């Protein structure tokens, strides 16, 4: 019952065609890796409009849209977005993302009077459902003038971009691409970072703690964390770095028994902890230096909630690394780079290269003879050469420190091309329609354009834009109604302009 009234509410919004398509998409379950239902829905929708649909083994789809009469000679333009959405819900909301339709609600912001659409207790999936709806509306509205179009929809963008990675180079023909997966309606995105994982692994010998050893747990927490791409320029504290820095202030007879920190490769670590053993005097020294390290970090960053706690462990520890191995590991954590490594020379304010010292974990061997320590990092750069340089720097530090080194999960960046012809068209159209300059930006995180460009042999001319969405990937996700209308006007005008060239 409620979903029907709300669908009606959506369909009352302008532009009608976009919201009608969005209502159908929102009613179709589509969490990442479960795109069967949305694929079937889109296939039926396209075929109902007489359009040809192609799919690949991964589940990616191309919908072929013939040119408007008289525009057949224009080069093919790809309109691109992703099928899947991030399934997040409030604790109090019951929702099965593989079965239940999203329940959209049209709401008004009290402060601004701006109307927006959100969902009842879940992510809305405007990321990227509104992009799919815009593409379908452009393809099926006879008023829209366009050259030949390919609507390229990928699976699994939100959980690893495996759909884009699986694209065959000949699955699409177009070399001009409009990606509809950005979230600020005054910006044109023209670049992103690529990335790769690096991993350092040691198997350290464990030895008994010896006589008169005291033990303690050292915990670092209260940091802001954040996304290792989008937030890396804010110089937020890294719990793994702060832990290593604290422990290295202690006298050299400190011995590590276990260590862990961080949660995911793409998250700046907020918490880390270690269990150490040492003579009582060493732990006392640590108790003095920890507040000093804390004061330094507070002065260096805008972290205000940082805590460094030392809790005595009265039972001690059964075994620990040698002081030399302890030092070797902690020094490595200090030596590997974290944060911004370089800014883009031509895009003011854009981070070009960075690394996140993301995770540290330790596991004792079953027989208690050794401790396996694994350090995980994620490097990013819009330029492949700089990504590889950063990777090799980290692996080099690892080798010098006696670690086994590993790298993988590399995906390509999308190097900004300020001279892109498609960008020039988008800029001109934006200026003509809205009387102001769009922001031209790039992001220091991965987007599908980088991968699709690689699949296209590196000569894709792409621009990304979309209506304003806030709170994406959370139940607070909103898309603004006037912004969807703005984006629709812009898309129509850009397609008409591209149909001339």
Residue ranges binding Zn ion (CB under 5 A):
127-128, 181
127 catalytic per annotation? no
Cβ 86 to Zn ion, closest distance in Å?
A: 8
Nearer to Zn ion, 31 or 269 (CB): 31
Nearer to Zn ion, 157 or 258 (CB): 157
Nearer to Zn ion, 181 or 271 (CB): 181
Cβ 449 to Zn ion, closest distance in Å?
A: 12
Cα separation values, 149 from 49, 111, 171, 189, Å: 14, 40, 14, 20
Marked catalytic residue, from 157, 185, 325, 454: 157
Cβ 405 to Zn ion, closest distance in Å?
A: 33
Q: What is the largest CA-CA distance in the chain?
A: 89
Cβ 450 to Zn ion, closest distance in Å?
A: 14
How far is 23 from 403, CA to CA, in rounded Å? 53
Cβ 270 to Zn ion, closest distance in Å?
A: 24
Contacts of 367 (CB under 8 A, 6+ apart): none
157 catalytic per annotation? yes
How far is 272 from 259, CA to CA, in rounded Å? 8
Cα separation values, 71 from 40, 104, 234, Å: 30, 37, 47
Do 276 and 216 form a contact (C-beta atoms < 8 A)?
A: yes
Nearer to Zn ion, 128 or 140 (CB): 128
Nearer to Zn ion, 122 or 128 (CB): 128
Q: Is 374 helix (H, G, I), strand (E, B) or coil?
A: strand
Exposure pattern of 207-237 as b/e (b: 16+ CB <10 Å)? eebeeebbbbbbbbbbbbbeebbebbeeebb
Marked catalytic residue, from 35, 84, 258, 271: 84
Exposure pattern of 344-359 as b/e (b: 16+ CB <10 Å)? beebeebbbbbbbbbb
Active-site residue set: 84, 157
């Amino acid at each position: 019952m409620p979903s029907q009234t709300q669908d009606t509410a959506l369909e009352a919004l302008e532009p009608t065609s976009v919201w009608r398509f969005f209502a159908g998409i929102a009613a179709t379950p589509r969490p990442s890796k479960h795109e069967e239902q949305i694929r079937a829905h889109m296939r039926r929708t396209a075929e109902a409009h007489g359009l040809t649909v192609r799919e690949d083994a991964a589940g990616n789809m191309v919908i072929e849209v013939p040119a408007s009469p008289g525009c057949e000679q224009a080069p093919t333009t790809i309109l691109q977005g992703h099928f899947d959405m991030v399934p997040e819900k409030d604790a109090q909301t019951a929702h099965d993302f593989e079965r239940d339709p999203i329940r959209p609600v049209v709401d008004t912001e009290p402060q601004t009077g701006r109307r927006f659409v959100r969902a009842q207790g879940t992510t809305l999936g405007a990321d990227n459902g509104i992009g799919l709806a815009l593409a379908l509306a452009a393809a099926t509205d006879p008023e829209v003038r366009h050259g030949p179009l390919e609507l390229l929809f990928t699976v699994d963008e939100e959980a690893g971009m495996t759909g884009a990675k699986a694209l065959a180079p000949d699955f699409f023909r177009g070399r001009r691409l409009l990606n509809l997966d950005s979230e600020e309606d005054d910006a044109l995105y023209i670049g992103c970072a690529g990335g790769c994982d690096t991993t350092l692994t040691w198997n350290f010998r464990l030895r008994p703690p010896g006589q008169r050893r005291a033990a303690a747990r050292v915990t670092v927490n209260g940091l802001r964390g954040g996304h290792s791409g989008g937030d890396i320029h804010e110089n937020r504290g890294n719990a793994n770095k702060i832990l290593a820095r604290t422990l290295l202030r202690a006298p050299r007879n400190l011995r590590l028994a276990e260590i862990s920190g961080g949660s995911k490769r793409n998250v700046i670590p907020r918490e880390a902890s270690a269990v150490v053993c040492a003579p009582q005097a060493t732990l006392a020294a640590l108790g003095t230096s920890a507040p000093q390290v804390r004061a330094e970090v507070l002065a260096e960053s805008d972290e205000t909630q940082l805590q460094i706690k030392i809790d005595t462990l009265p039972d001690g520890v059964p075994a620990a690394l040698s002081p030399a191995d302890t030092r070797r590991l902690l020094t490595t954590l200090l030596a590997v780079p974290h944060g911004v490594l370089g800014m883009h020379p031509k895009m003011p304010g854009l981070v070009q290269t960075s690394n996140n010292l993301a995770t540290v974990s330790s596991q004792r061997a079953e027989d208690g003879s050794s401790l396996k320590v694994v350090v995980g990092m994620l490097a990013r750069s819009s330029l492949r050469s700089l990504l590889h340089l950063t990777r090799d720097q980290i692996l080099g530090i690892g080798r010098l420190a006696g670690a086994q080194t590993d790298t993988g999960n590399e995906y390509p960046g999308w190097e900004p091309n300020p001279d892109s012809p498609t960008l020039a068209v988008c800029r001109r159209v934006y200026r003509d329609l809205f009387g102001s300059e769009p922001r031209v930006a790039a992001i220091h995180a991965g987007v599908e354009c980088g991968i699709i460009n690689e699949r296209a042999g590196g000569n894709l001319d792409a621009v990304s834009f979309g209506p304003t969405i806030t709170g994406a990937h959370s139940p607070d996700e909103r898309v603004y109604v006037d912004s969807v209308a703005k984006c629709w006007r812009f898309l129509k005008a850009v397609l008409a302009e591209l149909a001339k060239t």
